[in-house]
């Protein structure tokens, strides 16, 4: 039997490959005006060209990695201002929920993280671009 299904990915496969929820891909990404048209169907599911999908995600949805000084201490506000792609409020909320690392310094009652700590925490969050060797940037 010859497999006549078009090459490419379904929305669910795209979501799995990019570490995002199916609903995010279906309700947000796939509704973007630059989202590629389906190249066919596999069963009842539309199939999309992987390269075209990756291009749209890279241009519109992937957040560029921020360059932080490794040994400098940053407050949540300074991380936001440095372009970390996350607000200070989200950092504080995630810290209280155990989704952000404990501060490296709490001198004067102010939470501060080394650039290396913040970079590692940001790497655990989704949609940050990675270089060829797997590091952020």
Check residue 74 and report its DSSP letter. E
- Strands, E assignment, 40-115: 40-42, 45-47, 73-74, 113-114
Does the pTM surpass 0.75? The reply is no
Helices 50-60 and 11-18: crossing angle, nearest 10°? Answer: 50
Measured CA to CA, the distance from residue 105 to residue 111 in angstroms comes to 6
Residue 74: CB atoms within 10 A of its CB come to 23
Domain chopping of the chain, boundaries? 11-60, 73-124
For residue 82 the two structure tokens come to 């440095």
Q: What is the pLDDT of residue 6?
A: 62
Q: What is the pLDDT of residue 126?
A: 59
Sequential pLDDT tens for the chain (137 residues): 555 556 899 999 999 998 888 999 999 999 999 999 999 999 999 999 999 999 999 888 877 778 899 999 999 999 999 988 889 999 999 999 999 999 999 999 999 999 999 998 988 775 544 443 444 44
């Amino acid at each position: 039997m010859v497999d006549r299904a078009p090459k490419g990915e379904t929305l669910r496969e795209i979501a799995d490959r990019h570490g995002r929820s199916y609903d995010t891909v279906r309700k947000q990404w796939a509704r973007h005006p630059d989202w590629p048209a389906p190249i066919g169907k596999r069963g009842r599911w539309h199939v999309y060209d992987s390269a075209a999908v990756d291009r749209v995600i890279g241009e519109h949805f992937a957040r560029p990695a921020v360059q932080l000084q490794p040994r400098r201490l940053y407050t949540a506000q300074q991380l936001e201002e440095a372009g970390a792609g996350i607000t200070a409020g989200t950092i504080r909320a995630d810290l209280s929920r155990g989704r952000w690392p404990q501060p490296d310094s709490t001198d004067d009652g102010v939470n501060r993280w080394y650039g290396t700590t913040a970079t590692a925490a940001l790497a655990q969050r989704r949609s940050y671009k990675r270089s060829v060797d797997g590091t952020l940037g």
